[in-house]
Amino acid sequence: MSGYALQIGAILCVHVIAAYAAYMTLAAGQLNLGIAGFMALGAYGSAVLSNAGWAMPQSIAGAVLLASLVGLCVSYPVLRARGIYLTIATLAFSEVVVALILNMESLGAASGLVVVGHLGFWPILWVTLGVVALVVFLASTRFGLCLTAIRNDAQGAAVFGVRTRRIEVTAFTIGAALAGLAGALYAHHFSYVEAQRFNVLLSTYAVLYTLLGGLQTPLGPLVGAALFTLAPELLRGTDEWRYVTFGAVIVVLMLLRSEGLFTRSFIHNLMHRRPAT
Amino acid sequence: MFAQQLMNGLMLGGIYALVAVSFTLTIGILNFLNFSIPALFMLGGVVSCALLAAGVPAVGAAAGALAATGLASLLVERCTFRWLSTSDPHIPLVSSLGFLIFFENLVLVYFGSDAVGYPSPFARASVKVSDLTVSLPQTGGFLLALVLVALCYVLLKYTKLGRGLRSIAESPAIAEMLGVKVGWTVSSVYLVSGLLAGIGGILFGISYLQVSWDMGSEVALKGVSAMVLGGMGNVWGAVLGALIIAVIEVMTIAYLNSEAVNVFVYGLLLVIIAFCPRGLLGDRVKMAERM
């Protein structure tokens, strides 16, 4: 594969993992706009560890641990709020993380940080496939069932004995860990991190991929991220109009397929000749 | 120095307040976080700037910009509100995000990526009051913002339309049963909210003499934060939140540095949400439960 294709592939993988980070909290019915903040934690955490002489796998694992610990600590106060308040709280958290990094001279502040070591496309691909497999597995467990139950009716689920708070905290923490992983992979692929990259737009896109792909199946985020990372590349010929087209496509898509692209009935129609009723 | 900065903060707060009230209307009444508001804000600024540059008189330029934002807002309504009651609450959110990307990049194509000087008819008119420099367009904008917010409050509280709106906030189905024209009323919410954002954009251009395709994002983030700080669906809460955030922002830039702004603004927001999850003044129209 050409260098260009490998680059796009690596970015695609990072987007897929970020989309799964958004999926974990969305699956429990809450919108997390803090993905970029956790990605920044992962990226800078792994960068600092690698620069301190740690081997790459260990430093990435350390960064994931850091992101999930912070996620766990943040989830308790943040999950006290609901709906929009929760969304804004995660957004505020993300902005605080990035602003703090921008103010730390030891982390390179606004000029960014060079990361020791480079991670090629193939290891990133294997890690991404591992993440997809993990989320698909989680969705098939009792935990996954509880997530769906909470998303559809939190009070109803609680009545039937689902420990909603524990499940929500777990989902949020797994989401934070995945975002940290995406950030760490990103940092080591480009061997350079700058805090300005981890802005609201990044979080928004992660959520967008997931919702466009669809929440009904754990494969939705994969489809959404793949399609909407590659589509602007394919539209590159139309140059400046491609994001105008992208916006219009999103609006039209939501009008026509409001449950997302990859729904259960879509899978059913693929497998069987008769459409699902 | 301090008094001057405080005044600058309040002026900026006026613009944040318009955007915050614009957000709070669609949230409080329709329970919908309208992500296209930054685009409407930007359209107000950019369209009026383009019209002024083309030689249209100030009143015509303002009217043209407001017509553009109003139409854009109604277009957003056609593609988002219909889905609010029927399915997942996240779908209209995605649609409005699509509109944000669409409008911002459309302006980027026609307007370029650089910030453009705003040919304001008032330029930098200002008067000196003892050692304070009072910018006339900024002061006028601030007063206009307060008047508009007050009008919104009166509209919601005392008019037939306002009663209809509040009944829809309680329950759209029952409101319809009792004879409220839900479709028409909802369109008017979008229209008012879009116009407020558009006016905010024009005032931003007049006050800071610069517009660009991405001017909406930063202001809208502060607007949403202001709304949450004050309590959603609460018009005066939005104003209070906007003034607090703008003053913190201006003070931080004046006494520390511009990199530290977000630490204080969003740090405060995080603390407020953690300790009083319903904002400072609480949400009067208790809509959050449905989310």
Rounded Cα–Cα distance for residues B140 and B261 (Å): 26
**Residue B290 pLDDT:** 35
The alpha carbon of residue A155 and the mean position of all alpha carbons in its chain are separated, in whole angstroms, by 27
Task: Judge contact between A254 and B91, C-beta under 8 A.
Answer: yes
Question: For B68-133, what is the HEC assignment?
Answer: HHHHHHHHHHHHHHHHHCCCCCHHHHHHHHHHHHHHHHHHHHHHCCCCEECCCCCCCCEEEECCEE
CB A189 within 8 A of CB A39: no
The fourth-level CATH superfamily of domain A3-198 is ABC transporter involved in vitamin B12 uptake, BtuC (1.10.3470.10)
Rounded percentage of chain B residues whose pLDDT exceeds 70: 93
For chain B, say whether A255 makes contact (Cβ under 8 Å). yes
How confident is the model over A89-110, as pLDDT tens digits?
899 999 999 989 988 878 877 7
Tokens linked to A210: 């997931």
Identify the weakest region by mean pLDDT among A4-8, A84-88, A236-240, B189-193: A236-240
pLDDT at B172 over 60: yes
Measure Cα distances from A5 to A2, A9, A117, A243 in Å: 5, 6, 21, 20
Question: Does any CB of chain B come closer than 8 Å to the CB of residue A167?
Answer: no
Decide if A262 contacts A214 (C-beta within 8 A).
yes
pLDDT at position B291 over 60: no
- Which residues lie across from A193 on neighbouring strands? A113
Long-range contacts from B124-129, C-beta under 8 angstroms, 24+ separation: B124/B209
Tell me whether residues A211 and B94 touch, CB distance under 8 A: yes
Residue type, B142: F
Q: What is residue A237's predicted lDDT score, i.e. its pLDDT?
A: 65
Residue contacts between A and B (CB atoms, under 8 Å): 142
pLDDT tens-digit map of A215-225: 888 888 999 89
Supply the pLDDT for residue A175: 95
Write down the pLDDT at residue B283.
58
Give the distance, in angstroms, between the CA of residue A84 and the centroid of all CA atoms in the same chain. 19
Nearest CA in chain B to A260: B91
R_g (Cα) of chain B, nearest Å: 19
Domain ranges of chain B: 11-120+131-221
Query: Which of A186, A138, A168, A166 lies closest to A36, judged by CA?
Result: A186
Closest approach of B269 to chain A, Cα-based (Å) = 7
Q: Name the residue among B214, B257, B220, B272 with its Cα closest to residue B242.
A: B220
Contact criterion met (CB below 8 Å) for B50 and B111: yes
The verdict on A238 touching B (C-beta cutoff 8 Å) is no
- The secondary element (H helix, E strand) that includes residue B138 is helix B136-158
How confident is the prediction for chain B on average, in pLDDT?
Answer: 85
Q: Residue B72: what pLDDT?
A: 94
| Gap between the terminal Cα atoms of chain B | 45
Q: Which two tokens stand for residue B55?
A: 């030689």
Q: How many residues does the structure list for chain B? A: 291
Q: What is the pLDDT of residues B107-127, one digit of tens each?
A: 988 888 888 888 877 777 777
pLDDT single digits (tens) B37-78 = 999 999 999 999 999 988 888 899 999 999 999 999 999 988
In A, minimum Cα distance to B109 occurs at: A240
Alpha carbon dihedral A210, A214, A217, A221, in 10-degree steps, equals: -20
* Cα of B31 to nearest chain A Cα, Å: 9
Q: Is the pLDDT of residue A1 over 70?
A: no
Distance in angstroms (rounded) separating the CA atoms of residues A127 and A17: 9
Whether the CB-CB separation of B149 and B170 falls below 8 Å is answered with no
> Do B232 and A84 lie within an 8 Å CB cutoff?
yes
Bridge partners for A113 per DSSP: A193
Contacts of the segment A232-237: beta carbons below 8 A, 24+ positions apart: A233/A8
Half-sphere exposure of residue A116: CA atoms within 13 angstroms, side-chain side: 11
Chain B partners within 8 Å of A87 (Cβ): 33
Show the tokens assigned to A154: 């939190």
For helices B136-158 and B182-208, the axis angle rounded to 10 degrees is: 170
pLDDT at A254 over 90: no
Using DSSP's 3-state secondary structure scheme, residue B201 falls into helix
Counting residues of chain A whose pLDDT is more than 70, the rounded percentage is 96
| pLDDT the model gives residue A276 | 55
User: How does pLDDT run across B124-154, given as a tens digit for each residue?
Assistant: 777 777 777 778 888 888 999 999 999 998 9
Q: What percent of chain A has pLDDT over 90?
A: 36
Amino acid at position A77, single letter? P
Q: Which residue, among B191, B196, B213, B190, has the nearest Cα to B47 in the 3D structure?
A: B213
Distance CA B52, CA B15 (A): 21
CA distance to partner chain B, nearest, from residue A166 (Å): 18
A215 at interface of B, judged by CB pairs closer than 8 A? yes
Cβ of B33 and A84 within 8 Å? yes
Highest-pLDDT range among A38-47, B177-186, B233-242: A38-47
Are B93 and A31 inside 8 Å of each other by CB?
A: yes
The distance from CA B256 to its chain's CA centroid, rounded to whole angstroms, is 27
CB of A178 within 8 A of CB of A42?
Answer: no
Lookup: tokens for B38: 């930054």
List of residues 6+ apart from A233 with CB closer than 8 A: A8
Lowest-confidence region among A24-33, A114-123, A253-262, B155-164:
A253-262
Q: Which of A207, A235, A254 to mutate to test the interface with B (most CBs of B within 10 A)?
A: A254
Q: Which tokens is B206 given?
A: 């007049």
CB contacts of B259 in chain A (<8 Å) are 99, 102-103, 109-110
Of A1, A9, A21, the closest CA to residue A119 belongs to: A9
pLDDT score of A275: 58
Residues of B in contact with A201 (CB under 8 A): 217
A246 reaches B (C-beta below 8 A): yes
- For residue B285, the model assigns a pLDDT of 46
CB atoms within 10 A of CB B6: 15
* pLDDT of B288 higher than 70: no
HSE-CB at B117 with a 13 A cutoff on CA atoms is 4
Q: Which residue of B has its CA nearest to A205?
A: B97
- With an 8 Å Cβ cutoff, are A88 and B79 in contact? no
Tell me the pLDDT tens digit for each residue of A138-185.
Answer: 988 999 999 988 888 888 888 888 888 899 999 999 999 999 999 999
Give B37's contacts in chain A (Cβ within 8 Å).
Answer: none
**What type of residue sits at position B210?**
Q
B240/chain A closest Cα distance in angstroms: 17
Cα angle, residue B14 at apex, residues B10 and B17 outer, rounded to 5°:
120
pLDDT in tens, B229-278: 887 778 888 899 999 999 999 999 988 888 788 888 889 888 888 877 77
For residue B91, give how far its alpha carbon lies from the nearest alpha carbon of chain A (Å).
6
Q: How far apart are CA B43 and CA B18, in angstroms?
A: 15
Within 8 A of B290 by CB-CB distance, chain A residues are 83
Q: Beta strand B116-117 with A113-114: parallel, antiparallel or unpaired?
A: unpaired
Which residues 51-80 of A are in CB contact (within 8 Å) with B?
77-78, 80
Cα B22 to Cα B191: distance, rounded to the nearest angstrom: 10
